[in-house]
A and B are shown apart, each in its own frame.
Chain A
Amino acid sequence: MAQVTMTVNGKAASGTVEGRTLLSSFLRETLDLTGTHVGCDTSQCGACVVHVDGVAVKSCTMLAAEADGADVATIEGQAAPDGTLNTIQQAFQDHHGLQCGFCTPGMVMTTAALLKDNPKPSEQEIRVHLEGNICRCTGYHNIIKAIYAASGQDVAALGAD
């Protein structure tokens, strides 16, 4: 067992972990941050995406001990403290970018990483960037719309539904 300390959503967080403890397990079970979802547990689905030191990673495929000392951002840190959704979250709501919502935390975190590097992505760039995020409800079209809107672009330009 080892002690790990990291910054999670701007606050110091620490706990005791085994070597095998995954970052997703540490976030969910030790810190009670259950917004990070574990869908496949095989790094395929992307529901567990969080940011570690500013880049998106699949937290089910990273050891908690590897994040010792890191700056971690999860879905819980995206909305304002009063619950006001951020631009990406609001766009997902406005454009019905979710149905069951299971994949949404990973979608939002992946989107945040995309827009940081590429503030005005094309539809094709968005689709390619979502390669590692699986949604079984929406068929993706409304997710694409939401991301396009969140980047400040006119969704009418995306063409027919």
Chain B
Amino acid sequence: MYNFEFEKPSSIADAVAALGGDEAQALGGGQTLIPTLKQRLASRTTLISLSNIPEMQGICTGDDGALCIGGATTHGAVASGAGAYPGLAALAGHIGDPAVRNRGTIGGSLANNDPSACYPAAALASGATLVTNTREIASDDYFLGMFETALEEGEIITEVRFPIPEVSHYEKFVQPASRFALVGVMVAKFADGVRVAITGASEEGVFRWTEVEAALSANFSPDALDGLTLDADNMIGDLHGSKEYRAHLCGVIAKRAVVKAA
């Protein structure tokens, strides 16, 4: 790991100011960034820790009934504190392992947008709003591809607002070595329709499976998925699973998610 300066501001305003420096990088829980720096896949002159900013911590319920989670809230805190949205709490409680969940943060995960991470599926399937230091971004406009997001340089996710569905479930087919999703499907049923987001499968990162959303909105049962398939062309193919395998798995895991959500 190349060396860097370390700063730990105590407010969003101070963090944003510090991130204005040349080659500065925000540090969430570091559960992806530190391994990346160790491998010298990245190097930065300054890391700005977001771990000591009280206004980015914790979980609350907004006036509109949405669950608001501070950007620096750990997966462990979401697992134990997001009881108002059980599908989300369960998802958070199965990320990585217990020690990783005590450090990793929701804002860090969403800012990184790993194509196999769990939180992007939750945010997209929930129709969440990502609140940054400058604006609010709808999840439909946020995820731009593998490791790409709508965030500008130096922009911080300060809060994520999740509308709470009537029922939901996140089903993860675990890649056992990394504990990331080989395929993960989040199904969220709202009064005005069903949203389905898939992580782990596509070269484009997390995506909504709109045909399945329409089918489930009309008939919320696993049978509604019969005959619906995804094109394997855009799937990730690697030593853990071929493109065709992942495309097939999306349907299987989506059905399981519906069974458990219903």
Q: Chain A residues in contact with chain B, CB under 8 A? A: 2, 18-20, 22, 41-44, 46, 49, 55-58, 61-63, 65-66, 68, 110, 113-114, 129, 131-133
Contact = CB atoms under 8 A, between A and B. Distances in A.
Chain A binding surface SS class: mixed
Residue of A49, A113, A131 contacting most chain B CB atoms (<10 Å)? A131
Interface residues of B, number: 28
B20 to A, nearest CB: 18
25 contacts: A2-B6, A19-B6, A20-B1, A20-B3, A43-B31, A43-B34, A44-B177, A56-B99, A61-B30, A61-B103, A62-B103, A63-B34, A63-B49, A65-B8, A66-B8, A66-B51, A110-B99, A113-B98, A114-B98, A129-B98, A131-B179, A132-B98, A132-B99, A132-B179, A133-B97
B99 A49 contact: yes
Contacts of B3: 18-20
B137 interface: no
A42 B5 contact: no
Nearest to A114: B98
A44 B96 CA distance: 9
Contact of B30 (A18, A66, A129): A66
Interface string B32-73: 001101100000001101010000000000000000000000
B229 interface: no
Nearest to B35: A42
Contacts of B103: 57-58, 61-62
B4 A20 contact: yes
Contacts of A42: 35, 38
B185 to A, nearest CB: 21
Nearest to A52: B102
A16 B51 CA distance: 21
A114 to B, nearest CB: 8
B107 interface: no
A61 B35 contact: yes
A56 B31 contact: no
Nearest to B74: A55
Nearest to A4: B6
Contacts of A61: 30-31, 34-35, 100, 103
Given A19-B47, A20-B4, A55 B34 contact: no
A43 B101 CA distance: 12
B100 A43 contact: yes
B237 to A, nearest CB: 24
B87 interface: no
Given A19-B4, A19-B5, A132 B96 contact: yes
Given A20-B37, A41-B38, A65 B100 contact: no
B76 interface: yes
B99 A58 contact: yes
Nearest to A68: B8
A43 B35 contact: yes
B102 A55 contact: yes
